[in-house]
Amino acid sequence: MSFKKSLLLCLIKLLIRPIMVKLLFFSPTPNESKRVGVYLNGKIVDLVNAYRVIYSAEPPNWFFDMKALIEGGEEAINLVNNLINKINKNEQDDSRKIFFDPNNITYYPPVPNPEKIFLLAVNYRAHGSEAGAKPPDEPYIFTKFTNALIGHNQAVLIPKSSTKVDHEVELAVIIGKKCKYIKSSEAYNYVFGYTILNDVSFRDRQLPPGWPKVSDPYGQRWVHGKGMDTGAPMGPWIVTKDEIPNPYSLKLTLRVNGEVRQEGYAEDMIFKIDQVIEYLSNGITLKPGDVISTGTPPGVALATGKYLKPGDVMEAEISNIGVLRNYLVEEKWI
């Protein structure tokens, strides 16, 4: 093949390359239903209203249910891309309520109802060092529940039963296809995309009094230490996996009130994503929308003593994905 022909083919591929898809779950106004949208060129594209305008028809269920869209796979993503292309060509204003200001919508977790939420403990070497923990021999996994999930710009509650609330910025993997007994060499075929998860932790509920000098023969108290309400902010959107060919090059940063508290790169993971999927799927069926949060870099409050307090603003940032922002409020419970 000649050089000119090769160059032409490369240019064609660039021209027909799908638009970068950042999928979110949101409400345009408090009175409107939740739906799937796309972050594009600094605006939120409402896929529901866009479909109605472009096709003069009611949109498919994919646009009302993120898990359904994920299950729709390539066909669903192609529809999203085609719709965005038509919008770019035909819509130049906001008159038909297709475009929204990202600062004026309500965000929800990109997948608000995953069947399973897995998280990895001590999966970054530097974090293990600061915690005084040796690297585990196999992935060390715990779970959270959907009561913990909240979206971008939503409040994290400081519960009445905890005064040591901590932050952990993490890269979360969204499963795209049902799978079980998957080999690591096949694992990325089952990944839909990536998002940010802040593994908020309640250290005085997680660790026994006097830890680490005093240990508990039954281990750490994972349910309350990790799973209390609002303890898993996630978002603001999902970036599809084709846009992040090398997730280990991503930089993770967490700021509190503008001060950098955590910083590191995903390449520091002990167990990589493919290894974790192989491990989890050995006996557990993974389904579309399931979340696997892959661990955190160093700088957590457990090591620094800088625990979160009411009024604090956390910004969990991952390069090529975005910033997940949440604020702390004291729980009011009658």
Query: Scanning the structure block, which residue is given the tokens 């991952």?
Result: 318
CA 308 to CA 14: how far, in whole Å?
45
CA 30 to CA 302: how far, in whole Å?
37
Q: In CATH terms, are 17-106 and 109-330 the same topology? A: no
Tens digit of pLDDT at every position of the chain (334 positions)? 554 444 434 433 433 444 568 999 999 988 899 999 999 989 999 999 999 999 999 999 999 999 999 999 999 999 999 999 988 766 555 556 899 999 999 999 999 999 999 999 999 987 766 776 788 899 999 999 999 999 999 999 999 989 999 999 999 999 999 999 999 999 999 999 999 999 999 988 777 665 555 566 566 777 787 889 999 999 999 999 999 999 999 999 999 999 999 999 999 999 999 999 999 999 999 999 999 999 999 999 999 999 999 999 999 999 999 999 999 999 987 5
Q: Tell me, what's the pLDDT at 15?
A: 38
Alpha helices in 207-255 (DSSP H): 222-227
Residue 125's closest CA among 305, 301, 303, 296? 296
CA 132 to CA 325: how far, in whole Å?
29
**How far out from the chain centre does Cα 63 lie?**
19
User: Bridge-partner residues for 264, per DSSP?
Assistant: 252
Judge contact between 195 and 321, C-beta under 8 A.
yes
- Which is it for the CA torsion 37, 246, 313, 257, positive or negative? negative
Q: Where are the domains of the chain?
A: 17-106, 109-330
- CATH architecture of the domain with residue range 17-106: Roll (2.30)
CA 138 to CA 312: how far, in whole Å?
35
CA 89 to CA 212: how far, in whole Å?
61
Instruction: Please return the burial class of 81, using the count of CB atoms within 10 Å of its CB with bins 0-12, 13-18 and 19+.
Output: middle
CA angle 177, 182, 184 (to 5 degrees): 110
Look up the pTM and report it.
0.90
Residue 136 is classified by DSSP as P
Determine phi and psi for 140, rounding to 5 degrees: -100, 105
Determine phi and psi for 215, rounding to 5 degrees: -110, 160
Give the list of residues 6+ apart from residue 291 with CB closer than 8 angstroms, or none.
111, 114, 116, 117, 118, 172, 173, 174, 175, 197, 234
Superfamily holding 109-330: Fumarylacetoacetase-like, C-terminal domain (3.90.850.10)
Q: Tell me, what's the pLDDT at 333?
A: 75
